[in-house]
Structure 1
Amino acid sequence: MPLPPPSPVADRPVSSFAIDVPESLLARARAGEGAAFEQIYRWFERPVFTLAVRIAGDREEATEVLQETMLKVLTRIGDFRGHRDGSGTPFWGWLRQIAVNEALMRLRSRRRHEHGDSDEEHLADDRIPPPPAAADAAALGRALAQLPEATRSVLWLYHAEGYTHEEIAALMQRSISFSKSQLARGSRRLRQLLEPEQAHA
């Protein structure tokens, strides 16, 4: 069963998926109106693609993740009930969960024959600072691309999307300590990679 999106916490980042979709538009999409779904596609195309690139690390795969995500949203939108069933799940959280699952599924398929790092290495607390605010998007993208796939995924889900270590562990089918170790290791490496970029800025 998919996890619900993280509960709002004051110091969590605002996800790029956090778009308020009117119930009237959802009703039209549920009724099969193509124009309504096209509007939803336009609103979420960029956040889905960005998340997919950060996790999958490849624009071609990210395009496939985008297509598969939106196809699933189209075929399952009738199942989304959101606030009406008392779950309190916003539409963007439901759609984001589909995108994350799709991207991580591709990551896991590439990882099947690889040896994972020890879950217990380099544990750190949850308050590791995000990447330097001075880093522009292009520099951050170049630095993230140099990180191992699992490390990059943890960093993005934690810092950009606001998932907790417990949620990331469940999504990636790993342990909580694995999420913490990847966050600590990735944050250190990301800062090292960004320092030369800033020095030459």
Structure 2
Amino acid sequence: MQLPPGITEDDLIRQCKNGDIKPLEMLYKRFYGYAMGIGLRYCANRDDALEVVNDGFIKLFNSLNSYDPDKPFKAWLRRIIVNTAIDKNRREKKHLWNDDLELANQISTQATAIEQLNARDILNMLNKLPDLHRVVFNLYEIDGYSHDDIAALLAISASSSRVYLSRGKERLRELITKAESHERRF
């Protein structure tokens, strides 16, 4: 969503801090797509991602007065959405920490398989990972968290974070290889 002429992002945030409803709606519409992209990476389906985004915006609106305008707003929003998704996984998936970890086959893949995948294919593959593997993969590879940071966020050890990342990558390799072999048949 484009902002009305003469209104900057900072102006919009300032108006939101005053409690005006219209600027809150404009802020939501402006960053909805960005937040939904983050939510889809962390959630298994669109409904869960939408719930995370809406819950994240509620948290954002409630804590808008603590936002530091000297820091990028999108980074602050991303952190809220990521933390909301992690909280949702914690609440709803108590078995998240007990996933079956039988994915030990190391399969090499060719770079051409990855080049032929589109963003939707990659999201579908990420959604086929066990929840904890997907969350660790997103935090480490996409959002740039360290294993120590991931360990603190998820209440696991840093070495467990490394194992989940490794096994998640192994499973992605398997899925890419499977997609590549499927494509060769057609």
Q: Check if 1:102 corresponds to 2:89.
A: no
Normalised TM-score (structure 1): 0.72
Deviation (angstroms), 1:117:
6.1
> 1: distance between equivalents of 2:170 and 2:24?
41
Q: Check if 1:47 corresponds to 2:47.
A: no
Residue from 72, 79, 82 that aligns with 2:59: 72
Q: Check if 1:190 corresponds to 2:172.
A: yes
Q: Is the 1:151–1:186 contact (alpha carbons within 8 Å) kept by the matching residues of 2? A: yes
Q: How does 1:1-201 map onto structure 2 within 5 Å?
A: 22-83=9-70, 89-113=71-95, 116=98, 132-199=114-181, 200=183
Count of aligned pairs: 167
> 2: distance between equivalents of 1:168 and 1:114?
15
Q: Which structure: greater helix fraction?
A: 2
Per-residue CA deviations over 1:118-158 (Å, capped at 9, x if unaligned) read: 9xxx8xxxxxxxx9354211211221121100001111122
Normalised TM-score (structure 2): 0.77
Larger RCO, structures 1/2 (Cα 8 Å, 6+ apart): 1
Residue identity over aligned pairs, in percent, reads 29
Q: Is the 1:139–1:197 contact (alpha carbons within 8 Å) kept by the matching residues of 2? A: no
- Please say which structure displays the higher CA radius of gyration: 2
Deviation (angstroms), 1:114:
5.5
Q: Is the 1:28–1:36 contact (alpha carbons within 8 Å) kept by the matching residues of 2? A: yes
